[in-house]
Amino acid sequence: MNGINDVNGMGGMTGATGVTGATGVIGYYVHHQGSGHLNRARCVAAHCPLPVTGLSTLPAPGDWPGNWVRLPRDDDGDPASFGDVTARGRLHWVPVRHAGLRGRMALIARWIAETSPRLLVSDVSVEVALLARLLGIPVAVAAMRGERTDLPHRTAYGLAELLLAPWPAALPEPGRPAHWQAKTVHTGAFSRFDGRPHPVLRPEPVSARGDTDRTRPRRVLLMMGTGGTDLTPGEVKAARAATPGWRWTTLGGPGGGWSADPWPALCAADVVVTHAGQNALAECAAARRPAVVVPQERPFGEQAATGRALVRGRLAVVVPRWPAAGDWPALLERAHANGGGRWALWAPGDGAARAATALADAARTGPAGTGPAGTDAARAGRAL
């Protein structure tokens, strides 16, 4: 494969002839905040019938199926020197005179010039999407829930050939313009665990009477993730103390454990307590576990909007903030009674394959304006 392979900084450029563009290579920009963007990209790339090159500040994951372009950071250094990072509200993150920002944008531009990709996926960066489109490359943007009517989001969503929405069409994000909806591909949620068999759990202890021992504490898995949390260790401790009939395990966040493979813990949980990040919910949904969801504060109200969608779908118990300790016994009982069967609506199991197919189709339609995706984009552009 031609193009840049595992480039760090501005070095390591290999010779390229532009031939890769004819084979339909796709570029996939992966934001470095948290782990959800990377996990989503890994799922899609694994199913994509076309070669996919990753572009990110993050190191290449071991299972990435193609090339990887390592980008400099654009958020290091003294924040006091960053200046107007939004360019007067027209962009989201463009720190003034930042060497890392210049380096990453130059490197992406060089990769595009060398490789001539058929499509670039932005998950997510308004600035990267805009750069690629200014260089004549069709763009797909990973859609996010929440209030996205600011100028930068309108620009990115408007110029995109398609929007990938990792949630079901039955639970759309309210208030989106019709021209956005027309080019949105609703894949349903997807995760690295889709299709993975549940582990065989050890049987519960049996009493002397031969009955299943009902005194065994039921299991709560608290998944806090890596994208930041509003929760304190003291609040978790108080919830544990208030629920003596439940055994809590914590993964992620301050004071929590870490597991490279949380699948067994997920499947063993009687109730999962988690934030409303897309990746955490997709993993909970893949395991079909009952859940209490506590949306965290995020830009543009993303997790709060996701929580509202879960309520509409009756998929989980959703509370707007971390509950008082005395509320936890009833919340856990309610979630356990609801069960996890309705998660099939949220995550049907083939979302990554749907996303990969949509991207491959968009990459194969030819230059913008000559195929179905280009026609949709032209209509959308008039409606910006």
Q: How far apart are CA 274 and CA 294, in angstroms?
A: 6
pLDDT tens across 89-101, in order? 999 999 999 999 9
Confidence of residue 20 (pLDDT cuts 50, 70, 90): very low
Q: Are 222 and 250 in contact (CB under 8 A)?
A: yes
Q: What is the mean pLDDT of residues 196-218?
A: 68
pLDDT tens across 143-174, in order? 999 999 999 999 999 999 999 999 999 999 99
Residue 274: closest CA among 263, 286, 262, 284: 284
Output the pLDDT for position 382.
34
Q: What would the two tokens of residue 318 be?
A: 């959703």
DSSP secondary structure string, 115-139? Answer: H--SEEEEES-HHHHHHHHHTT--E
Superfamily of domain 7-190+350-382: Glycogen Phosphorylase B; (3.40.50.2000)
Q: What is residue 3's DSSP assignment?
A: S
Confidence of residue 205 (pLDDT cuts 50, 70, 90): low
Select the more confidently predicted residue: 105 or 12.
Answer: 105
Top CATH class, 218-346: alpha beta
DSSP secondary structure string, 183-218? Answer: TEEE-----TTTTPPPPPPPPPPB-TTSSB-TTSPE
Whether the pLDDT of residue 4 is over 60: the answer is: no
Q: What would the two tokens of residue 213 be?
A: 């021992």
Whether the pLDDT of residue 371 is over 90: the answer is: no
Residue type, 16: A
Domain ranges of the chain: 7-190+350-382, 218-346
Q: Are 296 and 303 in contact (CB under 8 A)?
A: yes
Q: What would the two tokens of residue 324 be?
A: 């008082």
CA dihedral 35, 38, 40, 44 (to 10 degrees): -160
Q: How far apart are CA 340 and CA 288, in angstroms?
A: 5
Confidence of residue 230 (pLDDT cuts 50, 70, 90): confident
Q: How far apart are CA 194 and CA 183, in angstroms?
A: 25
Q: What is residue 255's DSSP assignment?
A: T
